[in-house]
Amino acid sequence: MSRVFNFAAGPAMMPEEALERAAAEMLSYKGTGMSVMEMSHRSSAYQEIFDRTVRLLRELMGIPDEYEVLLLQGGATGQFAAVPMNLLKTGADYVDSGNFAHGAFVEAQKYGNARVIASSREESYARVPDVDAGAIDPDADYVYITTNNTIYGTRFTRLPDCGKVPLVADMSSNILSEPYDVRDFGVIFAGAQKNIGPAGLTVVVVRKDLLGHARPDTPKIFDWAKQAQAGSMLNTPATYAIYMAGLCLEWLKKEGGVRVICMRNQVKAKLLYDFLDESRLFRGTAARESRSLMNVTFRTPSPETDAAFVKFAAAQGLVNLKGHRLVGGMRASIYNAMPVEGVTRLVEAMKQFEAEGIAR
> Which one of 63, 116, 135, 221 is in contact with its own copies (CB under 8 A)?
221
d(CA 358, CA 360): 5
73 near its own copies, rule: CB under 8 A: yes
47 binds its own copies (CB under 8 A): no
Q: Which of 49, 67, 78, 141 binds its own copies (CB under 8 A)?
A: 78
Q: Would you give the binding string for its own copies spanning residues 3-22, x where CB under 8 A is met?
A: xx-x-xxxxxxx-x--xx-x
**Does the protein bind its own copies through residue 76 (CB under 8 A)?**
yes
Helix/strand/coil (H/E/C) assignment for every residue in the chain: CCCCEECCCCCCCCCHHHHHHHHHCCCCCCCCCCCHHHCCCCCHHHHHHHHHHHHHHHHHHCCCCCEEEEEECCHHHHHHHHHHHHHCCCCEEEEECCHHHHHHHHHHHHHCCEEEEEECHHHCCCCCCCCCHHHCCCCCCEEEEECEECCCCEECCCCCCCCCCCEEEECCCCCCCCCCCHHHCCEEEEECCCCCCCCCCEEEEEEHHHCCCCCCCCCHHHCHHHHHHCCCCCCCCCHHHHHHHHHHHHHHHHHCHHHHHHHHHHHHHHHHHHHHHHCCCCEECCCHHHECCCEEEEECCCHHHHHHHHHHHHCCCEECCECCCCCCCEEEECCCCCCHHHHHHHHHHHHHHHHHHHHC
Tell the smallest beta-carbon distance from residue 113 to its own copies (Å).
14
38 lies in the binding site for its own copies (CB under 8 A)? yes
| 266 closest CA partner among 334, 331, 346, 322 | 334
Q: Which residues of 276-285 are buried (b: 16+ CB within 10 A; e: fewer)?
A: beebebbebb
Residue 41 interacting with its own copies (CB under 8 A):
yes
- Judged by phi (left if over 0) then psi (alpha if -120 to 50, else beta), residue 252 lies in alpha
Q: Is 107 in the site for its own copies (CB under 8 A)?
A: yes
**With binding defined as CB under 8 A, does residue 222 bind its own copies?**
yes
In this complex, which beta carbon is closest to its own copies, that of residue 11 or of residue 357? 11
Measured from the CB atom, is 240 or 298 closer to its own copies?
A: 240
What does residue 130 show for φ and ψ, rounded to 5 degrees?
-70, 140
Q: Return the number of the residue (63 or 234) whose C-beta is nearest its own copies.
A: 234
Q: Which of 162/192 has CB closer to its own copies?
A: 192
> Under the criterion CB under 8 A, does residue 200 sit at the interface with its own copies?
yes
In the range 109-128, which residues lie near its own copies by CB under 8 A? 110-111
Which residues make beta-bridge pairs with 70?
Answer: 204
Q: Please pick, from the candidates 60, 69, 70, 81, the single residue that binds its own copies as defined by CB under 8 A.
A: 81
Give the nearer residue to its own copies in terms of CB position, either 43 or 124: 43
Q: Does 28 bind its own copies (CB under 8 A)?
A: yes
Give residues 249-308 in contact with its own copies (rule: CB under 8 A): none
Min. distance of Cβ 352 from its own copies in angstroms? 21
Judged by beta carbon, residue 118 or residue 238, the one nearer its own copies is 238
Phi and psi angles of residue 299, each rounded to the nearest 5 degrees, phi first: -155, 165
Residue 198 in contact with its own copies, rule: CB under 8 A: yes
Q: Which of 188, 144, 139 is nearest to 164 (CA)?
A: 139
Number of residues that bind its own copies (CB under 8 A): 68
The minimum distance between CB 329 and its own copies, in angstroms, equals 16
Site pattern 297..336 for its own copies (x: CB under 8 A): --------------------x-xx----------------
Q: By C-beta, is 13 or 176 nearer to its own copies?
A: 13
User: Which region among 36-44, 126-134, 148-156, 263-271 touches its own copies (by CB under 8 A)?
Assistant: 36-44
Residues that bind its own copies (CB under 8 A): 1-4, 6, 8-14, 16, 19-20, 22-24, 26-28, 32-35, 37-41, 43, 73-78, 80-82, 85, 107, 110-111, 191, 193, 198-201, 216-217, 219-222, 234-241, 244, 317, 319-320
